[in-house]
Structure 1
Amino acid sequence: GFQTGDQGLGHYVLSVADVDAALAFYTKALGFQLADVIDWTIGDGLSVTLYLLYCNGRHHSFAFAKLPGSKRLHHFMLQANG
Structure 2
Amino acid sequence: MNEEHKDCYGSMFPDTLHLNDNVANTGQVFSVRVKKPEGGVIPVYSDRLIEVDFKQWKECQLCVEFESCYKLSMAKIALESAVASH
Common fold: TM-score over 0.5: no
The structure whose residues are more often helix, as a share, is: 2
**Higher radius of gyration, 1 or 2:** 2
The structure whose residues are more often strand, as a share, is: 1
TM-score, normalised by the number of residues in structure 1: 0.24
